[in-house]
Amino acid sequence: MAEKTMLEAVHDAMFEEMKRDERVIVMGEDVGEGGVFRATEGFVAEFGPNRCVDTPLAEAAIVGVAIGASLNGILPIAEIQFADFSHPAFDQLVSEAARLYYRSNGTWNCPITVRMPYGAGIHGGPYHSQSVEAFYAHVPGLKVVCVATPHDAKGLLKSAVRDPNPVIVLEHKKAYRLYRQELPDEDYTIPIGVAELKREGSDISLITYGMMMHHSLKAAETVHEQDGVSVEVIDLRSVSPWDKARVLESVKKTGKALVVYEDNFTGGFGAEVAATIAQDGFDYLDGPVTRLASPDVPIAPFAGELEDFILPNPEKITTAIRKLASY
Amino acid sequence: MTAVKEAPAALKLSDEQLLEMYYKMLLARTLSIRQRLLQRMGKGAITYSGEGHEAAQVGTAFALRPGTDWLYTYYRDIGVVLTIGMTPAEVLTGFFATRDDVNSGGRNMPSHFSHKRLRIVSQGAPVATQCPQAVGTAWASKLRGLDEVAAVYFGDGATSTGDWHEAMNFASVHKAPVIFVCEFNQYAISVHYKKQMAVENVALRAQGYGMPGITVDGNDVLAVYEAMTDAVERARGGGGPSFIEAKTYRLVPHSSDDDDRRYRTKDEVESWSARDPLVRFARRLNEMGKLDERREKEIAERVASEVDEATELGEGGARPDPESALRPVFVEEKGS
Amino acid sequence: MVSVKEIPGAMGLEREQLLDLYYKMFLSRTVAQRERMLNRLGKGPFAITGEGQEATQVGATFALRPGHDWVLPYYRDIGVAITVGQTPRDLLLALLSKSEDISSGGRNMPSHFSEPKLRIVSGSAPVSTQLPHAVGVAFAAQLRGSDEVALVTTGDGGTSPGDTHEAMNFAGIHKCPVIFVVENNGYAISVRWSQQAAVPDVSVRAAGYGFPGVTVDGNDVLAVYGAAKEAVERARSGDGPTLIEAKTYRMVPHSSDDDDRRYRTREEVEAWGKKDPVVRFQKWLEEHDLVDRRKLDEIQQLAAEEIDEATEYAENAPKPAPESALERVYAD
Ligand SMILES: Cc1ncc(C[n+]2csc(CCOP(=O)(O)OP(=O)(O)O)c2C)c(N)n1
Ligand SMILES: Cc1ncc(C[n+]2csc(CCOP(=O)(O)OP(=O)(O)O)c2C)c(N)n1
């Protein structure tokens, strides 16, 4: 067992996958020098410049080239420096990677992994803070995971690399160096699409993912101590596919659901979760399915005061829990 | 500026190969005409074809090794896929969107070719998205130490897209063994090339990426073949990518949904009909003493019967099971 | 005494103008240094500057009519912003993201310049998205029959995105009055030019769009100015776009988050330090007897005072009201 940050876990996951399977390569901007977040530190020394490849500054090419390489015996892990810069590659992700398998009636598949640091709370301004999971989770053919702990990051990234489908791995960048966690020494994976109970509870089901999971745990602690309210925190970890069964099972037990997500309120992935609970879990409910998210403004303004104002945080979550608990 | 190159008469092609080229061109032409006819009869929802492009398509594809080299075609490339080895029936089952359509099982539009064994990679509709993918496939060959090359096809309109630029740049920086083939037919649907670019020969752009670019007469199959052979050899030998601009003309509307009388004159179309690549190649072969009337007739008969047979197969093909529309979205276990 | 205008290489500028050029370069340098210092002191979370690129930025922009022509700068362009009229105060208010920050009211990152009055169009962070905008601005000027031109800058990495190609192609077809300036400093963060493109000079690409492209010494302010002046004249007279590639060097890390020792040697940085464009132009002015020590002191003193005043002002300015984060998502 070794204590690792999430960033180290991401590094190790790729490193170990590249050791395990020589078809695996990483490609992206600045990855040769270790990447702007240092996720590929030492890769060129270990694997050479042909397996840790600096690309031109061109995201459509990064994803498009990765798709083509994946059809010819290479398993690319493409890094998009910030999720905000995946938009130039939207066409390659949505029209190509996602549709290739279906449109060829199952003859061509595209085993690429696209890593993207995402999320706000780091003074990134409107272009280094976006949550992009809802865009991609909307698209059949893409798998999307959102990781925010070292253990999950490593296990899910490995699953992504081994998955025969295109998988987008969204790594919450505020969680990169948040804390250290003991990780097993042996190889392990975490299945895509399986949620994890991060805290057990009986009064309210709080469904979340990404950085909001950490904030939600804090809020759950607070209401437990101060109000005696018992909140169950479910970390989805994957948003496509997502673990509906686990969520409904919890709501059945608690009768109340609070969905917390960092993205804009309207059309964020939590809206899908809320709609599913409302439709399939209606009989279990003792209160309104509640959503807490960022208001509908571009995420995120740069100034600390502005950014703090819009993002959900433990205090806002605490307030939302209390309101729902009093129902 | 790269000059339009005349093909040297002497090429190392055997008589059989020359006739094979002619046969593929005629097959492409005949099959295209058949498709358009079937569409007008209400037997298919839409058709795309490339009458007029046969020299560019067959001439380039002929320089590749079927099943070894990779192809990223676009919707006009009936001549390419037939040359690589797709059968007329495989093309027509795509048109009829049958259950057993090798391209997509009725999921993709017709002429969006895909054939795994022949390494023809499935094609989307957004123009030029195939360009970076082809670069990736070629680059993978290089990384793996293989001598496979990739050829990617597109029209003049495609050269305006960001994907095309990013692909050209990536290919040249990483010396990927890829050949970019532009079927320059002067129009992107109704948009004339003068509104698409401010240069006469788009091959000029290749120098901006440090790769050779050549403009050839795309209606001269031998000139095209020669340019492609050069480019393929360079790619195979580690010399990196090339760009070939084949000047040609689409003699038919963009698709069955298009009425080209809206944007071009009859005179213009006729003047290009006079340069029909098929007629021209037949005449050339005749002059070379390789194609007499008897051989020509034989080939025409063979083509006609093949196209008839394919039509029957396509028309009689099983319809897809409606519920199969729900599959296959994800690969369930690790594919190749 | 020979007229200044006849000095070879003076590009027809008068002494006052040459001194103004120098002042703007010097001021840009000083603001940049102050920004990085304030960031190190923990007063602003992020700084991104362009020490070493002042000749390119100021020289190119100097060929414009400020407030009449349009500029679409990128994050490295303190020199562009200063030359069209943003003040150190404006820049430092943005650095510290104060409510008076004219560029964005604290919403955008520092060095994402914007000011409608000066016709500086607000830019984003995705590299080169400003290029199609610049073409659009120029296209509109052309459609309206105005003689305004647009100048847009990007880095060498900025030549790779599809947006750059689409913008240049459009500009070529419609002969838009736009000047593309590539500040080729040899790096996109850590990625060298040789990994970015397979050609030594990116200006060769212009021919593929049907307009002229030139490569100039980006550390020679007069050479850059000369090239830009010619490009502006072409654009204004209806002859369409020009691509100017200015070869230069970023003497500092990419941003306050970057450690450039990871990817380049100190010798390389020092060698470029010897070609410092501000020092180089100062020497040129001295060699041609256009300034003496006293005059230089005066200019430098003026810049220092301006920066100090701006720092004090910006530090004491109010922060934006948190609720203002909700405003201005849509125009009324
Ligand atoms: C990105 C994108 N934009 C628009 C279209 C619609 N469209 C289909 S074909 C076409 C014209 C393509 O012209 P060109 O590349 O010259 O090829 P040609 O059809 O002439 O062979 C257009 C605009 C598309 N398919 N993809
Ligand atoms: C589309 C996009 N991808 C990636 C980034 C992250 N990024 C910011 S600056 C930069 C390098 C830009 O280099 P260059 O254009 O050469 O300008 P320079 O910083 O050297 O002045 C990168 C990769 C971005 N901002 N936008």
State whether the beta carbon of A37 lies less than 6 angstroms from ligand 2. Answer: no
State whether the beta carbon of B249 lies less than 6 angstroms from ligand 1. Answer: no
Residues A178 and A211 in one domain: no
Q: Does A127 touch chain C (CB under 8 A)?
A: yes
Q: Per the CB < 8 Å rule, is A305 touching C321?
A: yes
User: Of C332, C259, C319, C285, which Cα lies nearest the Cα of C26?
Assistant: C285
For residue A106, is it within any domain?
Answer: yes
The CATH code of the domain that includes B250 is 3.40.50.970
User: Of A84, C133, C169, which Cα lies nearest the Cα of B168?
Assistant: C169
Report the residue from C164, C165, C207 with minimal CB separation from B204: C207
Contacts of A305 in chain C (CB under 8 A): 106, 319-322, 325
> Which of B127, B153, B186, B255 most suits a substitution to test ligand 1, by most atoms within 8 Å of the C-beta?
B127
Contacts of A304 in chain C (CB under 8 A): 45, 97
For residue A265, is it within any domain?
Answer: yes
The CATH code of the domain that includes A46 is 3.40.50.970
Reported as a single tens digit per residue, the pLDDT across A27-83 is 999 999 999 999 999 999 999 999 999 999 999 999 999 999 999 999 999 999 999
Report the residue from A25, A101, A108 with minimal CB separation from B121: A108
For residue B335, is it within any domain?
Answer: no
Supply the DSSP string of A310-322, one letter for each residue: HS--HHHHHHHHH
Query: Is there a contact between C53 and C76 (Cβ–Cβ < 8 Å)?
Result: yes
pLDDT at C118: 98
Return residues 95-114 of C near A (CB < 8 Å).
Answer: 97-98, 104, 106-110, 112
Record the tokens describing residue A6, joined without a space: 């999430």
Residues A202 and A230 in one domain: yes
Ligand 1 atom nearest B125 alpha carbon: 25
For residue B250, is it within any domain?
Answer: yes
CA B129 / ligand 1 centre spacing (Å): 11
Band of pLDDT at residue C3, cut at 50, 70 and 90: confident
The total of structural domains in chain C comes to 1
The CATH code of the domain that includes C273 is 3.40.50.970
For residue C174, is it within any domain?
Answer: yes
- ipTM comes to 0.95
Residues A175 and A232 in one domain: no
Band of pLDDT at residue C6, cut at 50, 70 and 90: confident
The total of structural domains in chain B comes to 1
Q: Quick count: other Cβ atoms within 10 Å of Cβ A129?
A: 27
Distance in angstroms between the alpha carbons of the first and the last residue of chain A: 44
Helix axes C15-40, C277-287, angle to 10 degrees: 150
Is the backbone peptide bond immediately before C212 cis, with ω within 30 degrees of 0?
no
Residue B51: which domain range? 4-316
Return residues 130-169 of B near C (CB < 8 Å).
Answer: 160-166, 169
pLDDT at B5: 46
Q: Quick count: other Cβ atoms within 10 Å of Cβ B302?
A: 13
Return residues 162-221 of B near A (CB < 8 Å).
Answer: 162-163, 166-167, 169-170, 173-174
Phi, psi of C243 (to 5 degrees): -110, 125
Q: Per the CB < 8 Å rule, is C125 touching A296?
A: no
Report the residue from C257, C323, C329 with minimal CB separation from A309: C323
CA–CA separation, B287 and B285 (whole Å): 5
Point out the ligand nearest to the CA of residue C76: 2
Q: Is B294 exposed, middle or buried (0-12, 13-18, 19+ CB in 10 A)?
A: exposed
Count CB pairs under 8 A between chains B and C: 76
Ligand 1 atom nearest B185 alpha carbon: 20
| Residue where the block lists tokens 């490569």 | C215
| Residue where the block lists tokens 């005949």 | B30
pLDDT at C2: 59
* Best B166, B172, B175 residue to mutate vs chain A (most A CBs within 10 Å): B166
Residue C208: which domain range? 4-317
Q: Which of A183, A213, A240 is the last residue of a domain?
A: A183
Residues A163 and A19 in one domain: yes
Give the containing element (helix H, strand E) for B246.
strand B242-247
Q: Per the CB < 8 Å rule, is C172 touching B198?
A: yes
CA–CA separation, C184 and C157 (whole Å): 8
CA A110 to chain centre: 20
State whether the beta carbon of B189 lies less than 6 angstroms from ligand 1. Answer: yes
Residues A305 and A239 in one domain: yes
Query: Is there a contact between C263 and C190 (Cβ–Cβ < 8 Å)?
Result: yes
Reported as a single tens digit per residue, the pLDDT across C283-311 is 999 999 999 999 999 999 999 999 999 99
For residue C215, is it within any domain?
Answer: yes
pLDDT at C8: 86
Active site residue C254: yes
For residue B186, is it within any domain?
Answer: yes
pLDDT at residue C204 above 80?
Answer: yes
Residues A140 and A84 in one domain: yes
Sign of the torsion formed by the C-alpha atoms of A135, A140, A141 and A145: positive
Return residues 83-112 of B near A (CB < 8 Å).
Answer: 101-108, 112
CA B197 / ligand 1 centre spacing (Å): 15
> Which of B164, B187, B189 most suits a substitution to test ligand 1, by most atoms within 8 Å of the C-beta?
B189
For residue B326, is it within any domain?
Answer: no
For residue C322, is it within any domain?
Answer: no
pLDDT at B1: 32
Q: What residue type is A317 in one-letter code?
A: I
Task: Please tell me the distance in Å from B177's CA to the nearest CA on chain C.
Answer: 15
CA–CA separation, C72 and C205 (whole Å): 21
CA–CA separation, C92 and A314 (whole Å): 32
Q: Does A302 touch chain C (CB under 8 A)?
A: yes
Residues A113 and A156 in one domain: yes
For residue C167, is it within any domain?
Answer: yes
The CATH code of the domain that includes A273 is 3.40.50.920
pTM of the model: 0.95
Record the tokens describing residue C268, joined without a space: 């390389």
Q: Which of A183, A205, A220 is the last residue of a domain?
A: A183
CA B131 / ligand 1 centre spacing (Å): 14
Blockwise average pLDDT, block size 10, chain A, 327 residues: 96 98 98 96 97 97 97 97 98 97 96 98 96 98 98 98 98 97 97 98 98 98 98 98 98 98 98 98 98 98 96 98 96
Residues A229 and A165 in one domain: no
Count CB pairs under 8 A between chains A and B: 154
For residue C116, is it within any domain?
Answer: yes
Residues A144 and A9 in one domain: yes
Query: Is there a contact between C196 and A29 (Cβ–Cβ < 8 Å)?
Result: no
Residues of B tagged active-site: 250, 254, 263
Residue A282: which domain range? 196-325
For residue B331, is it within any domain?
Answer: no
For residue C325, is it within any domain?
Answer: no
Ligand 2 atom nearest C125 alpha carbon: 25
Q: Quick count: other Cβ atoms within 10 Å of Cβ A194?
A: 16
> Percent of chain C at pLDDT above 90?
97
Residues A252 and A168 in one domain: no
Point out the ligand nearest to the CA of residue A116: 2
For residue B323, is it within any domain?
Answer: no
The total of structural domains in chain A comes to 2
Residues A201 and A319 in one domain: yes
CA–CA separation, C327 and C331 (whole Å): 10
**pLDDT, one tens digit for every residue, chain B (336 residues):** 333 344 554 478 999 999 999 999 999 999 999 999 999 999 999 999 999 999 999 999 999 999 999 999 999 999 999 999 999 999 999 999 999 999 999 999 999 999 999 999 999 999 999 999 999 999 999 999 999 999 999 999 999 999 999 999 999 999 999 999 999 999 999 999 999 999 999 999 999 999 999 999 999 999 999 999 999 999 999 999 999 999 999 999 999 999 999 999 999 999 999 999 999 999 999 999 999 999 999 999 999 999 999 999 999 999 999 999 999 999 986 443
CA–CA separation, A164 and A145 (whole Å): 15
CA–CA separation, C317 and B239 (whole Å): 60
Name the residue with the closest Cα to ligand 2, atom 19.
C188
CA B255 / ligand 1 centre spacing (Å): 11
For residue B332, is it within any domain?
Answer: no
For residue A216, is it within any domain?
Answer: yes
Q: What is the DSSP letter of B22?
A: H
State whether the beta carbon of C163 lies less than 6 angstroms from ligand 2. Answer: no
For residue A315, is it within any domain?
Answer: yes
Task: Enumerate residues 6+ apart whose C-beta is below 8 A from B186.
Answer: B156, B192, B193, B249
Distance in angstroms between the alpha carbons of the first and the last residue of chain C: 60
Q: Per the CB < 8 Å rule, is C161 touching A125?
A: no
CA–CA separation, C20 and B335 (whole Å): 66
CA A81 / ligand 2 centre spacing (Å): 10
For residue B196, is it within any domain?
Answer: yes
Average per-residue pLDDT for chain C: 97
Q: A116 pairs with which residues across the strands?
A: A170
CA C181 to chain centre: 9
Strands B187-188 and A290-294: unpaired
Alpha helices by DSSP H, chain C: 15-40, 54-61, 78-84, 88-95, 130-143, 162-174, 193-196, 221-236, 266-273, 277-287, 293-316
Q: Per the CB < 8 Å rule, is C191 touching A56?
A: yes
Q: Is C40 exposed, middle or buried (0-12, 13-18, 19+ CB in 10 A)?
A: exposed
pLDDT at B8: 59
pLDDT at B333: 65
* Best B164, B199, B200 residue to mutate vs chain C (most C CBs within 10 Å): B199
For residue A303, is it within any domain?
Answer: yes
Sign of the torsion formed by the C-alpha atoms of A64, A70, A74 and A76: positive
Residues A151 and A232 in one domain: no
For residue C329, is it within any domain?
Answer: no
pLDDT at C124: 95
* Best B122, B164, B326 residue to mutate vs chain A (most A CBs within 10 Å): B122
Q: Per the CB < 8 Å rule, is C189 touching A30?
A: yes
For residue A189, is it within any domain?
Answer: no
Catalytic residue among C15, C23, C263, C280: C263
